[in-house]
């Protein structure tokens, strides 16, 4: 059974204090690992897709990496506007390209 | 381009009432999905569609029905609402990755 565990559940950072969010996964035949950002009261917003171990992708202050068992979302010198819940999801070989989501990490960046 | 829109944004139902949530997309995507999001549970797939006229069950389909009569629309129905269906409902469409709508917050009393 596909499983995604995100840690920590919540993270408070000072502005400029870099850190990483973790997404551990178990899936039969990984087709893709996805990161989304969700602001309160809004739908998830797509950030990255990673397909194979060793792959990395960057966007502004965010960098996502992938190994065979986990993914990290590194946040460098965060700003208050980076405050959001970050969701990780995996796509396995079962179902019609369906995603299985973790419960997210709620990030708060304090000015 | 509106992307993915959902109607209504908020709704309060009494137990036993019925309603339909509408998802509309203008991206010409074949795949569409309905999720519910509950505190501490993450997003869970209710039903999905791989094209016009097709539907399939997801992880938590009980108590819901769906229809995809037109490619751009995906409807989620609750025939007899229960308090356990109080949740935030999200629609998504997919080409390479999934794009989500703004959500419908439903409360069943």
Which residue is closest to A6 within chain B, CA to CA?
Answer: B42
> Is the backbone of residue B103 left (phi > 0), alpha (psi -120 to 50) or beta?
left
Distance from CA of B102 to the nearest CA of A (A): 5
Q: Which residues contact A26 (CB under 8 A, 6 or more apart)?
A: A1, A2, A3, A4
Q: Is B8 helix (H, G, I), strand (E, B) or coil?
A: coil
Answer yes or no: do A41 and B98 touch at CB < 8 A.
no
Phi, psi of B92 (to 5 degrees): -140, 155
**Can you tell me the distance from the alpha carbon of B92 to that of B25, in angstroms, rounded to the nearest whole number?**
9
Express each pLDDT in B40-60 by its tens digit: 888 999 999 999 999 999 999
Answer yes or no: do A42 and B103 touch at CB < 8 A.
yes
Express each pLDDT in B4-33 by its tens digit: 999 999 999 999 999 999 999 999 999 999
Nearest CB partner across the interface for B40, out of A41, A42, A103: A103
Tell me which residue has tokens 């995604």.
Answer: A4
Beta-strand pair A10-14/A45-50 = unpaired
Answer yes or no: do A42 and B102 touch at CB < 8 A.
yes
- Other Cβ atoms closer than 10 A to B27: 13
Express each pLDDT in A9-49 by its tens digit: 999 999 999 999 999 999 888 999 999 999 999 999 999 99
Cα A55 to Cα A70, A100, B2, B11, B24, distances in angstroms: 12, 20, 32, 42, 34
Sorting pLDDT into bands at 50, 70 and 90, what band is A50?
A: very high
Answer yes or no: do B41 and A103 touch at CB < 8 A.
yes
Nearest CB partner across the interface for A98, out of B40, B45, B101: B45
Q: What is the mean pLDDT of residues B70-90?
A: 97
Nearest CB partner across the interface for B43, out of A46, A95, A101: A101
Residue B34 corresponds to which tokens in the numbers above?
Answer: 């309905």
Phi, psi of A78 (to 5 degrees): -65, 155
> CA angle at residue A87 from B89 to A85, to 5 degrees?
85
């Amino acid at each position: 059974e596909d499983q995604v565990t995100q840690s920590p559940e919540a993270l408070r950072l000072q502005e400029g204090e870099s850190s990483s969010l973790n997404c551990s996964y178990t899936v039969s035949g990984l087709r893709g690992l996805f990161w989304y950002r969700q602001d309160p009261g809004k739908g998830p917003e797509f950030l990255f897709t990673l397909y194979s171990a060793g792959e990395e992708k960057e966007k502004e202050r965010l960098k996502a990496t992938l190994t065979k068992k986990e993914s990290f979302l590194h946040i460098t010198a965060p700003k208050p506007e980076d405050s959001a819940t970050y969701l990780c999801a995996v796509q396995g070989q079962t179902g019609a390209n369906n995603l299985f989501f973790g419960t997210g990490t709620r990030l708060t960046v304090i000015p | 381009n509106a992307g993915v829109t959902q109607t209504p944004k908020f709704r309060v139902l009494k137990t036993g009432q019925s309603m339909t949530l509408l998802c509309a997309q203008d991206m010409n995507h074949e795949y569409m999905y309905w999720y519910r999001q509950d505190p501490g549970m993450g997003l869970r797939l209710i039903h999905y569609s791989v094209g016009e006229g097709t539907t399939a069950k997801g992880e938590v389909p009980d108590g819901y029905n769906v229809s995809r009569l037109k490619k751009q629309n995906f409807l989620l129905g609750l025939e007899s609402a229960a308090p356990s269906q109080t949740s935030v409902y999200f629609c998504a469409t997919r080409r390479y990755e999934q794009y989500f709508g703004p959500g419908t917050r439903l409360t069943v009393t």
